[in-house]
Amino acid sequence: MTSPRFAIRALCTVVVGLVLGLDTGRAQAVKELSVMILRSDGKRQRGFIQNSNENGLLFSLVEGSPGSGLLWEKQVTAVAFDNADEIMREARAAYNQRDYESAAEQLGKVADDYVIAAWVPDSFAAEARFYQIDSLRRLGRWKEIAPLLSKPTAKAIPKVLTQFYQSQFVLNQAWGALGAERMDFVRQAVSAREVPQTGAAKMLPSPIFKKMPNRELVQVSFLRAKLYESENKPALALNDYYRSFTLNFSYDPVMTDLAMNAALAIQAKDPVMQREKKDELVVQQIQSLAFLYKNAFGKGEIDPAYAAFAVKPKIVQPVAKEVEDEEEEPDMKEDPDAAKKPDDSKGKGDKEKGDKAKPKKPAKSDDKAKPDKADEGEGKDKKGE
């Protein structure tokens, strides 16, 4: 059981830290928010939240009056904001409409302006930071992610948001590491989602992935492709880029664009493409991808570096093999019942062979004296006469 002295000391730490704003690192744009709190004894209380951290919140019953510190769980279990939906409405709409440029800007502003609510359970400020980072990830602006991860609203995500956000947030941290060129962290995130290679699996060029949602598999494939590129393994990187945009074609257009262009870049740099006499299969592969990108995804446009390849590849038609002896196969069209009719000649032949195989019995002496049935009948008639 916690001693009263320790509880008082912890509460004082919360109050001092919240009042001084030590966990924000910036001047707060919003000083307080109208809320209703649920106390640990089950009672509800209206008032104003003035700040929060991982230990508790600064709460005032009167707007503008100095607040008092309340500890999470021990004194407060939940907080409901009066206007959270209104604050987030436009930013959420931009994200849902896949306008990630606008969403990243608006969500970032919400997260910065309402940092006092960062550590509140189900905090809309932490949610705003999460989706701002995700918007930047989708835009390929990975270098901007790493600095945001040190913000209070990002640090609060693992604690205050539900499990729904957690797996993607770990991946978003990997995207930030990619932007910061911390490939060791990227490797760690990817390896955690790979099945260890043992036994016959060691013969595979790359480890297979664990079962995960498609939206995550697309990202992990892309991240591993980037890892392979950094390790100078273009063939393995190409396989993962293909996996990424194939699974992702309709889910995340921006990610599809990045994966397809990355695959085209690898193929264009292939030493085979630099030779005067190029391998026809390699040429067809890059032509197929460039043609698909331009006409099915790029709305008729493609990077000028790959424009020459954006042509429909020539598909070589296989030559049908001629039948050398047509008489060997029966024409089933002329007599459809031919297969059903028994082969009488085959039965006769077998019978004849069987007869020839059996040796004839030599005629008995008595047999020669015996008349046949016709002669026997004539004899009887003569006796009657």
Predicted pLDDT of residue 279:
75
Of 236-250, 313-327, 371-385, the range with the lowest mean pLDDT is 371-385
Would you say 133 and 176 are in contact if contact means Cβ atoms under 8 Å apart?
yes
Q: In whole angstroms, what is the distance from residue 186 CA to residue 182 CA? A: 7
Q: What is the mean pLDDT of residues 57-86?
A: 95
Which range, 137-151, 196-210, 322-336, has the best average confidence (pLDDT)?
A: 137-151
Q: What is the mean pLDDT of residues 308-319?
A: 79
* pLDDT of residue 69 exceeding 90: yes
Closest Cα partner for 210 from 227, 224, 231?
224
Classify domain 4-82 at the CATH class level. mainly beta
Predicted pLDDT of residue 123:
96
Closest Cα partner for 154 from 138, 136, 169?
169
> How far is the CA of 244 from the CAs of 58, 113, 189, 344, in angstroms?
46, 36, 17, 65
User: Max alpha carbon distance in the chain (Å)?
Assistant: 157
More confident residue, 362 or 126: 126
Backbone angles phi, psi at 218, to 5 degrees: -60, -45
Residues written for the chain: 385
The alpha carbon of residue 64 and the mean position of all alpha carbons in its chain are separated, in whole angstroms, by 50
Query: What would the 3-class secondary structure string for 239-284 be?
Result: HHHHHHHHHHCCCCHHHHHHHHHHHHHHHHCCHHHHCCCCCHHHHH
Q: In whole angstroms, what is the distance from residue 180 CA to residue 136 CA? A: 14
Give CATH 2.30.30.100 domain extents, the chain: 4-82
Scan for tokens 């004839």, then name that residue: 360
Predicted pLDDT of residue 63:
92
* pLDDT of residue 210 exceeding 80: yes
The SS3 of residue 167 is helix
CATH number for the domain whose boundaries are 84-160 = 1.25.40
Residue 374: pLDDT band with limits 50, 70, 90: very low
Give pLDDT tens digits for 290-306: 999 998 888 889 999 89
Predicted pLDDT of residue 200:
83
What pTM does this model have?
Answer: 0.72
Give CATH 1.25.40 domain extents, the chain: 84-160
